[in-house]
């Protein structure tokens, strides 16, 4: 897939390029993990270990300008501002294009939306979108989603800002299905600021024919797709995930499936039950991709 003469993207960090080089050097099929808002690539570290043991070459790229650590993110939250869905999607498509082998892609929340965009561009062998943010054509807008997004959408000035979550906001939007003690641990270990722009884009996607929050659901080379939905997710509840599934299921060229994970909230990729979700994703991907070949 990669082109040795391709110039480095302005948004590709040395960390990202080193991971791509390492994945290419293994000769294995890469698995690209795409995080969502309020998290960093390090939120996938445990997943990377599981998938590496299964024979894949894990790649955990950041969004443009992502800091290396939660501590760095807290020190410089302003670096998250002004990142649009289109900019982030192009960033990940550029990075995927540098891999020697076509990867599988796994994304959570807005990373799940980006995962579907990359699949629609024919860049992945198979994909898993976990509690994915909505795209144009996904119509449900549950009250819990509006409340979860109100930390950003409640102030139009947040469009160009980096917005952190308070613990109470994180508890509702991410960690509602775990104990308060675990929620506090997750908040301290993982929560960082996030750009406001993608939330405004997703909220207005069905009103804007030119929105960047759109997915080619009919692409012939989209590949198999699994959508995972946490049963207790306030941010991306079943209504949104299932509406995305119904749009994707119209694809006549590839398998589309949806699975609900019982008793799980939006933190399902990072909380104490993450391994069940990782195993579900891995089981699906192994049906279509043999990482040993």
The span from the CA of 108 to the CA of 130, in Å, is: 5
- Contacts of residues 112-116 at CB distance under 8 Å and 24 or more positions apart, as own/partner, are 112/34, 112/36, 112/227, 112/236, 113/85, 113/202, 113/213, 113/215, 114/34, 114/85, 114/88, 114/89, 115/34, 116/215, 116/217, 116/225, 116/244, 116/248
Two tokens, residue 259: 């699975």
215-228 burial, b at 16+ Cβ within 10 Å, e below that, comes to bebeeeebbbbbbb
What are 45's two structure tokens? 């570290």
Provide the residue range defining the domain that includes 229.
14-286
* 292 assigned to some structural domain: no
What whole-number distance in Å separates Cα of residue 169 and Cα of residue 74?
17
**Does a structural domain hold residue 5?**
no
Q: Is residue 198 part of a domain?
A: yes
In a domain, 146, yes or no: yes
Secondary structure (3-state) at 225: strand
Q: Which residues contact 212 (CB under 8 A, 6 or more apart)?
A: 84, 85, 86, 89, 201
Total domain count, the chain: 1
Question: Is there a domain that residue 291 lies in?
Answer: no
Q: Between helices 85-96 and 110-120, what is the axis angle to 10°?
A: 60
Residue 215 placed within a domain: yes
Q: Identify whether 64 is part of a domain.
A: yes
Looking up residue 78, the CATH number of its domain turns out to be: 3.40.50.1820
- Report the predicted TM-score, pTM, of the whole model to 2 decimal places: 0.95
Q: What SS3 state is found at 146? A: helix
pLDDT in tens, the chain (293 residues): 644 433 444 567 899 999 999 999 999 999 999 999 999 999 999 999 999 999 999 999 999 999 999 999 999 999 999 999 999 999 999 999 999 999 999 999 999 999 999 999 999 999 999 999 999 999 998 999 999 999 999 999 999 999 999 999 999 999 999 999 999 999 999 999 999 999 999 999 999 999 999 999 999 999 999 999 999 999 999 999 999 999 999 999 999 999 999 999 999 999 999 999 999 999 999 999 999 88
8 found inside a domain: no
Count the neighbouring beta carbons within 10 Å of the beta carbon of residue 203: 17
């Amino acid at each position: 897939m990669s082109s040795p003469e391709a110039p480095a993207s302005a948004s590709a960090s040395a960390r990202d390029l080193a991971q791509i080089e390492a994945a290419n050097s293994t000769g294995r099929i890469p698995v690209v993990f795409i995080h969502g808002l309020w998290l960093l690539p390090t939120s996938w570290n445990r997943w990377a270990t599981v998938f590496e043991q299964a024979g894949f070459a894990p790649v955990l790229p950041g969004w443009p300008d992502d800091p290396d650590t939660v501590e760095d993110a807290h020190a410089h939250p302003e670096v998250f501002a002004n990142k649009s869905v289109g900019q982030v999607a192009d960033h990940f498509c550029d990075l995927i294009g540098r891999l020697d082998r076509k990867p599988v892609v796994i994304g959570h929340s807005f990373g799940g939306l980006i995962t579907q965009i990359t699949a629609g561009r024919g860049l992945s062998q198979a994909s898993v979108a976990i509690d994915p943010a909505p795209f144009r054509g996904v119509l449900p807008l549950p009250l819990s989603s509006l409340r979860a997004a109100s930390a950003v959408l409640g102030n139009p000035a947040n469009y160009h800002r980096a917005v952190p979550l308070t613990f109470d906001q994180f508890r509702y939007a991410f960690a509602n299905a775990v104990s308060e003690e675990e929620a506090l641990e997750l908040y301290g270990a993982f929560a960082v600021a996030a750009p406001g722009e993608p939330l405004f884009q997703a909220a207005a996607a069905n009103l804007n024919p030119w929105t960047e929050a759109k997915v080619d659901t009919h692409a012939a080379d989209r590949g198999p797709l699994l959508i995972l939905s946490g049963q207790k997710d306030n941010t991306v509840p079943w209504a949104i995930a299932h509406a995305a599934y119904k749009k994707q299921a119209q694809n006549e060229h590839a398998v589309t499936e949806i699975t609900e994970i019982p008793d799980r909230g939006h933190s399902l990729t990072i909380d104490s039950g993450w391994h069940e979700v990782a195993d579900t994703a891995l089981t699906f991907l192994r049906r279509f991709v043999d990482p040993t070949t």
